[in-house]
């Protein structure tokens, strides 16, 4: 739901044969993002029989024709070029006006055009007489939050490039703008490193078929950029690194039973200087491979038992004068943060890094994921850090029935804190952890449930009534199905005019 939306009962005919996108000033539009967006949206507008639209069922529909629309005129506030990429600071606002045979979309930045094209594609519908029409409409829109992410976990199960790309299409059509790529974790290391090929050679489920090559990654990043989506990779450490140890066993702490190693490995070994030499080289590569300002450094769920058992770490603790193993974690993260900060990168981190007292850069984005998020968001924003909410939106957890209302009802501002603290909330992330998800079920499990979170993060805080959202949600589910996404039914019995076509 746009921030401001009004429509009238008069409609305009939109004829696929004559319709085109046009631009106010040709010279400033010589960029791939726009050209590709125009190519994408023409079939999305005309290639299907859209459902009866919620938007227009709000107005009286189709009571008279006020004109024929042959073009959507696009106006952009500044020249675009092929190095433009979305960022946390992107301006995604746009204005869309359809009036008596004229249609105009204007935005300050490219990314607003991308969002506005999606909206335009949603308000064109098939009239009862068969032709495509759009009501006279005025929309002025912008996102409530700048960071609206979907996290995929490609370590617990491998997810194909094809599914990742398809999911980026679903994301942009739901106005998501960050793909948080939890690319490696304990079970497997599918990132194929240019400088450390042994990591995926030994750590991937299969070094040939279950990896992301550098070329795959560049393709995914470019595909995302064209859709106004940032790719923030997560290389979680010092815990969740078992798969790193397959290729580089020296990296992990050897766990001891009594006086000898027991064959198990723990978190990254912070007592070994070679650890940080490797991490610096590795993150330099990652920083180049992923051009976004931010890298997610993880830092969650570090178990101390193995560190405590290891004589080298014990000696290190003594040497450093630590009284507590959380100081080891703090030390490790501090070294890592300094390395990555030194590469000119910002970082996103899980909440534990702050809870453990590490000193982070001012522009750090802290992701809150544990229960009791209200107090944590209060705490993190009091410290002055940019914050994301994830706790409410672990969509890998499933339950029977229309559970989207639960995700829809979670309000990021519902924590004790001042207005200034709330300004630090950058948005949130829908998380799809991979224990029970792979190419067989990822898309149908994520969509349309993630659409509920998308509206929470885009629309005004006051847009929160489930009864009002339900028909929008049902319609949008069918829109996605009609566009070829296996978005599952989620509101009890019903149907879509165009059902999903199985292969």
Q: Is 207 in the site for a copy of itself (CB under 8 A)?
A: no
Using the rule CB under 8 A, is 239 a contact of a copy of itself? no
The C-alpha atoms of residue 174 and residue 87 are separated, in whole angstroms, by 18
Site for a copy of itself in 154-173 (CB under 8 A): 155-158, 160, 162-163, 166
Which of the residues 468 through 497 are near a copy of itself (CB under 8 A)?
A: 481, 486-490, 492-495, 497
Does 47 contact a copy of itself by CB under 8 A?
no
Instruction: Tell me the C-alpha to C-alpha distance, in Å, between residue 116 and each of 1, 37, 129, 407, 473.
Output: 12, 11, 27, 25, 19
Within 270-309, the residues that bind a copy of itself by CB under 8 A are none
Give whichever of 171 and 313 is closer to a copy of itself, judged by the CB atom: 171
Contact residue for a copy of itself among 323, 399, 462, 465 (CB under 8 A):
399
Q: Which of 129, 400, 419, 467 binds a copy of itself (CB under 8 A)?
A: 400
DSSP lists the bridge partners of residue 350 as 367
Instruction: Answer yes or no: 301 catalytic.
Output: yes
Question: If binding is defined by CB under 8 A, does position 188 make contact with a copy of itself?
Answer: yes
371 binds a copy of itself (CB under 8 A): no
440 lies in the site for a copy of itself, by CB under 8 A: yes
Q: How far is the CB of 371 from a copy of itself (least distance, A)?
A: 16
- Residue 502 interacting with a copy of itself (CB under 8 A): yes
**Is the bond preceding 215 in cis, omega lying within 30 degrees of 0?**
no
Identity of the residue, 6 or 441, whose beta carbon is nearer to a copy of itself in the bound complex: 441
* DSSP codes joined into one string, 251-278: GEEEEEETTEEEEEEEEE-TT-HHHHHH
One DSSP character per residue, 8-25 reads: EEEEEEE-TTT-EEEES-
Residue 40 vs 449, nearer CB to a copy of itself: 449
| Residue 220: both structure tokens together | 């995914």
Using rule CB under 8 A, residue 26 touches a copy of itself: no
| 63 versus 398: smaller Cβ distance to a copy of itself | 398
What is the token pair recorded at 41?
Answer: 């949206």
Q: Which of 253, 239, 211 is nearest to 202 (CA)?
A: 211
- The 10 Å Cβ neighbour count of residue 157 is 20
Q: Which residues of 297-306 are buried (b: 16+ CB within 10 A; e: fewer)?
A: bbbbebebeb
Q: Does 143 bind a copy of itself (CB under 8 A)?
A: no
Q: Which of 198, 301, 411, 468 is catalytic?
A: 301
Is residue 77 within the footprint of a copy of itself (CB under 8 A)? no
Which residues, including other chains, have CB under 8 Å from residue 313's CB and lie 6 or more apart?
Answer: 253, 269, 270, 271, 307, 328
Report in angstroms how near the CB of residue 303 gets to a copy of itself at its nearest.
17
For residue 2, state whether it binds a copy of itself (rule: CB under 8 A): no
Answer positive or negative: Cα dihedral of 203, 205, 208, 210. negative
Interaction between residue 219 and a copy of itself (CB under 8 A)? no
Nearer to a copy of itself, 216 or 338 (CB): 216
- Comparison of 91 and 186: residue with beta carbon closer to a copy of itself: 186
**Distance between CA atoms of residues 38 and 21, nearest Å:** 7
CA distance 211 to 196: 14
**Site residue total, a copy of itself (CB under 8 A):** 48
Min dist CB 362 to a copy of itself, Å, is 36
Query: Residue 122's closest CA among 144, 112, 102, 137?
Result: 137
Which of 8, 7, 16, 54 is CA-nearest to residue 131? 16
Work out which of 198, 250, 363, 499 binds a copy of itself, going by CB under 8 A.
499
- Comparing CA positions, the residue from 430, 407, 394 lying closest to residue 179 is 430
Nearer to a copy of itself, 210 or 370 (CB): 210
CB of 298 or CB of 486, closer to a copy of itself? 486
Among 6, 209, 303, 418, binds a copy of itself (CB under 8 A): 209
What is the spatial distance between Cα 154 and Cα 442, in angstroms, rounded to a whole number? 11
Does residue 52 interact with a copy of itself by CB under 8 A? no
401 torsion bin: left (phi>0), alpha (psi -120 to 50), beta (else): left
Residue 145 binds a copy of itself, judged by CB under 8 A: no
Using the contact rule CB under 8 A, the part of the chain among 19-27, 309-317, 321-329, 395-403 near a copy of itself is: 395-403
CA 497 vs CA 50, 207, 482, 500, 501: distances in Å: 8, 43, 8, 10, 12
Q: Which of 78, 87, 436, 460 binds a copy of itself (CB under 8 A)?
A: 436
CB atoms within 10 A of CB 1: 16
Please state the closest distance from residue 107 (CB atom) to a copy of itself, in A: 33
Nearest CA among 296, 346, 353 for reference residue 181? 296
Question: Which amino acids are annotated catalytic?
Answer: 301
- Interface contacts to a copy of itself, rule CB under 8 A: 155-158, 160, 162-163, 166, 186-188, 205-206, 209-210, 396-401, 434-441, 443-445, 481, 486-490, 492-495, 497, 499-503
């Amino acid at each position: 739901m746009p921030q401001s939306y009004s429509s009238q009962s008069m409609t305009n005919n939109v004829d696929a044969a004559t319709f085109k996108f046009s631009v106010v000033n040709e010279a400033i539009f010589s960029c791939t993002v726009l050209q590709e967006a125009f190519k994408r949206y023409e079939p999305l507008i005309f290639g299907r029989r859209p459902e009866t639209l919620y938007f227009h069922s709000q107005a009286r529909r189709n009571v008279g024709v006020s004109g024929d629309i042959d073009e959507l005129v696009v106006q952009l506030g500044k020249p675009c070029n092929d190095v433009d990429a979305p960022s946390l600071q992107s301006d995604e606002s746009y204005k869309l006006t359809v009036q008596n045979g004229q249609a105009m979309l204007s935005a300050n930045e490219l990314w607003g055009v991308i969002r506005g094209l999606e909206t335009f594609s949603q308000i064109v519908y098939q009239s009862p007489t068969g032709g495509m029409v759009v009501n006279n409409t005025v929309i002025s829109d912008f996102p409530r939050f700048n960071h609206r992410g979907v996290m995929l976990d490609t370590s617990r199960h491998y997810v194909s490039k094809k599914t990742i790309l398809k999911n980026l299409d679903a994301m942009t059509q739901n106005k998501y703008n960050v793909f948080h790529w939890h690319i490696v974790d304990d079970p497997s290391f599918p990132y194929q490193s240019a400088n450390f090929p042994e990591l995926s050679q030994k750590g991937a489920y299969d070094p040939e078929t279950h990896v992301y090559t550098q070329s795959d990654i560049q393709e995914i990043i470019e595909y995302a950029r064209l859709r106004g989506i940032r790719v923030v990779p997560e290389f979680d450490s010092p815990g969740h690194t078992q798969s790193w140890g397959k290729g580089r066993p020296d990296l992990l702490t050897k766990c001891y039973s009594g006086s000898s190693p027991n064959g198990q490995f723990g978190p990254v070994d912070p007592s070994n200087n070679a650890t940080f030499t490797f991490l610096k080289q590795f993150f330099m590569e990652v920083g180049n491979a992923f051009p976004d300002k931010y890298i997610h450094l993880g830092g969650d769920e570090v178990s101390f038992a193995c560190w405590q058992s290891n004589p080298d770490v014990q000696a290190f603790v003594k040497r450093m004068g630590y009284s507590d193993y959380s100081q080891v974690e703090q030390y490790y993260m501090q070294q890592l943060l300094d390395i990555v900060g030194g590469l000119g990168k910002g970082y996103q981190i899980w909440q534990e890094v702050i809870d453990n007292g590490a000193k982070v850069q001012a522009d750090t984005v802290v992701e809150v994921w544990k229960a009791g998020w209200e107090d944590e968001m209060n705490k993190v924003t009091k410290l002055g850090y940019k914050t994301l909410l994830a706790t409410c939106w672990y969509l890998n957890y499933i339950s029977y029935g229309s559970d989207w209302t639960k995700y829809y009802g979670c309000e990021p501002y519902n924590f004790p804190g001042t207005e200034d603290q709330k300004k630090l909330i950058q948005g949130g992330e829908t998380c799809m952890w991979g224990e029970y998800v792979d190419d067989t079920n990822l898309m149908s499990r994520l969509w349309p449930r993630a659409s509920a979170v998308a509206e929470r993060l885009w629309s005004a805080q006051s847009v929160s009534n489930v009864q009002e959202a339900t028909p929008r949600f049902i319609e949008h589910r069918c829109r996605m199905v009609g566009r070829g996404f296996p978005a599952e039914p989620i509101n009890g019995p019903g149907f879509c005019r165009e059902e999903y076509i199985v292969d």
